[in-house]
Amino acid sequence: MYKLFIPAAILFSTVMLITACDKNEIKYGEFDVISPDKALLKINFVSSYQSNPTVYLALDGNRVSNPITSRTPFPGGGYNTGGGSTADYMVVNPGAHKFSVVIPQKGANIGVDSIKLFETDITVEGGKYQTLHITDTTANTKSVMLSDNNARPDSGYIRYKFVNLIPNAGPVDLYYDATIVAPNVDYLKSAEFTMPLPAATKNWTLRPAGSTTLTIGTPYSNGSTITNRRVYTIFALGYKDMTDTRKPYISFLLNL
* Domain layout of the chain by residue ranges: 3-254
Burial of 249 (0-12, 13-18, 19+ CB in 10 A): buried
Strand (E) or helix (H) holding 9: helix 8-20
Can you tell me the distance from the alpha carbon of 131 to that of 96, in angstroms, rounded to the nearest whole number?
15
Helix (H) or strand (E) holding 12: helix 8-20
- The DSSP code for 197 is P
Q: Tell whether the torsion through CA atoms of 15, 19, 20 and 21 is positive or negative.
A: positive
- Whether pLDDT at 111 is above 70: no
Three-class SS of residue 176? strand
pTM of the model: 0.85
Residue 39 pLDDT: 97
Amino acid at 194: T
Q: In what order do the strands lie in the sheet with 129-135?
A: 3-4, 90-92, 39-45, 129-135, 142-147
Q: What is the pLDDT of residues 36-78, one digit of tens each?
A: 899 999 999 999 999 999 999 999 999 999 999 999 999 999 9
Q: How many residues does the chain have?
A: 256
So what's the pLDDT on residue 24? 45
- β-pairing, 231-237 vs 157-164, is parallel
CA distance 117 to 137: 8
pLDDT at 109: 58
